[in-house]
């Protein structure tokens, strides 16, 4: 599972700046410059890639994030 942090929301009220989000793999979306991001409801939506930055961290930290969800 890949994680990103939101750095830009545009006018989208569903995104929170500096919040960590999970990303689902979607090659077709990536080819269009989009990420498939999972929100708090567990649903995934497409957003522009430039709204997010990837997070580099240890697998242990990612597991802790998952355990909190």
**What b/e string do you get for 7-24 counting C-beta neighbours within 10 Å, with b at 16 or more?**
eeeeeeeebeeeeebbbe
CA-to-CA distance for 50 and 58, rounded, in angstroms?
Answer: 23
pTM over 0.85: no
Computed over every residue of the chain, the mean pLDDT equals 89
Per-residue tokens: 6: 């939101």
For the segment 23-49, the average pLDDT, to the nearest whole number, is: 93
Q: Which domains does the chain have, with CATH numbers?
A: 2-68 (2.30.30.40)
DSSP β-bridge partners for residue 22? 3, 38
Alpha carbons within 13 angstroms on the beta-carbon side of residue 43 total 6
């Amino acid at each position: 599972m890949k994680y990103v942090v939101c750095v830009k929301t545009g006018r989208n009220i569903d995104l929170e700046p500096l919040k960590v989000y999970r990303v689902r793999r979607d090659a077709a979306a990536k080819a269009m410059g989009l990420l498939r991001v999972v929100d708090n409801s567990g649903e995934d939506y497409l957003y522009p890639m430039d709204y997010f930055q990837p997070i580099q961290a240890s697998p242990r930290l990612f597991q802790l994030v998952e355990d909190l969800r």
